[in-house]
Amino acid sequence: MAKPSGTLLADPVVDRARGDARLARQRAVAGVRRSLVLEAARSAFFELGLEGASLREIARRAGYTPGAIYSYFDSKEEVYGALLGESLERLNAFVTSAAPEPSTGRGGAARWRAAQATVRAKATAFFDFYREYPRDLDLGFYLFHGMQPRGLTPTLNERLNARLRQALAPIREGLVALGLSAQEAQTEVTALFAQIVGLLLLSHTGRIRMFAQESGALLERYLEALLARTSTLAKSRGARR
């Protein structure tokens, strides 16, 4: 009678499961470490600015060596891009969750009121996000000197710009529904964006107090004027039915 061998045969299913579990643990650890780096970078950028925050300082705050940072990011600009990307994801979620006031009735008049409510709700949400989270506003300004962005690769820069445009897209779509052409809607969204950024900057720096004004009320006034212009234009074209 043959004696059983002392060597156990490998079970491919068990080995695969163990390998998957090990890979999952490694990814979880890497995710935690990456998050620690981003948190350290966020505090360094806020306290020192983009120019003053070096990878060495970020590594020190994260508890790693500078060489370890390169396992996750190639440069501090790439770290910044990751932080700004996360911020834009939160912005998009905030704008998406902003529900316009329900419109009663049926037909064209109801659709018109619904489109107006969408423009107002989404524009206000965009503004409120940065007013409620001013550090995200700081993050968005750090990489600009004059009007020229520095440090980001063209691909990353375009990806971040696309996420910003996506947050503004519901406003543009609402304006098109109100009778503007795509180009006209884009022009109005650009002007609205400039208005919001200006109000946020005045509010964030406290300069708005010198005018004895409130940023939210000024935005509402601008939106009322925008919707009135849109209504007048649509009526002249017979778009409102």
CATH number at residue 161: 1.10.357.10
Q: Indicate whether 225 belongs to any domain.
A: yes
Choose the final residue of a domain: 73, 108, 134.
Answer: 73
Helix/strand/coil for 214: coil
143 and 193 belong to one structural domain: yes
Q: Indicate whether 2 belongs to any domain.
A: no
Reading phi first (left if > 0) and then psi (alpha if -120 to 50, else beta), residue 151 is in left
69 and 174 belong to one structural domain: no
Residue 147's pLDDT band (cuts 50, 70, 90):
very low
Q: What is the DSSP string of 50-103?
A: HHH--HHHHHHHHTS-HHHHTTT-SSHHHHHHHHHHHHHHHHHHHHHH-PPPPP
Rounded to whole angstroms, the Cα distance separating 110 from 113 reads 5
Range with the lowest mean pLDDT among 93-97, 132-136, 217-221?
Answer: 132-136
Choose the final residue of a domain: 43, 58, 73.
Answer: 73
124 and 207 belong to one structural domain: yes
DSSP-derived secondary structure letter, 3: P
87 and 142 belong to one structural domain: yes
In contact, 151 and 75? CB cutoff 8 Å? yes
Helix/strand/coil for 145: strand
Q: Indicate whether 103 belongs to any domain.
A: yes
Q: Cα dihedral angle (49, 52, 58, 59), rounded to 10 degrees?
A: 180
96 and 55 belong to one structural domain: no
Q: Which helix (H) or strand (E) holds 161?
A: helix 154-177
Q: Indicate whether 90 belongs to any domain.
A: yes
Q: Which of 17, 14, 61 is nearest to 40 (CA)?
A: 61
Q: Indicate whether 15 belongs to any domain.
A: no
Q: Which residue has the higher pLDDT, 92 or 30?
A: 92
**Domain range enclosing 53:** 20-73
55-65 pLDDT, tens digit each = 899 999 999 88
99 and 164 belong to one structural domain: yes
Helix/strand/coil for 114: helix
61 and 103 belong to one structural domain: no
CATH number reported for the structural domain that contains residue 35 in this entry: 1.10.10.60
Q: Indicate whether 215 belongs to any domain.
A: yes
Q: Please tell me the total count of domains within the chain.
A: 2
Residue 154's pLDDT band (cuts 50, 70, 90):
confident
83 and 149 belong to one structural domain: yes
Rounded to whole angstroms, the Cα distance separating 160 from 155 reads 9
pLDDT at 145: 47
88-99 pLDDT, tens digit each = 999 999 999 999
- Average pLDDT on 30-38 reads 78
138 and 181 belong to one structural domain: yes
128 and 40 belong to one structural domain: no
157-201 pLDDT, tens digit each = 888 889 999 999 999 999 999 999 999 999 999 999 999 999 999
Choose the final residue of a domain: 51, 73, 95.
Answer: 73
Report the percentage of the chain scoring pLDDT > 70.
Answer: 81
Q: Indicate whether 28 belongs to any domain.
A: yes
Q: Decide if pLDDT at 205 tops 80.
A: yes
Q: Indicate whether 7 belongs to any domain.
A: no
210 and 226 belong to one structural domain: yes
pLDDT at 121: 97
90 and 172 belong to one structural domain: yes
pTM for the full model? 0.81
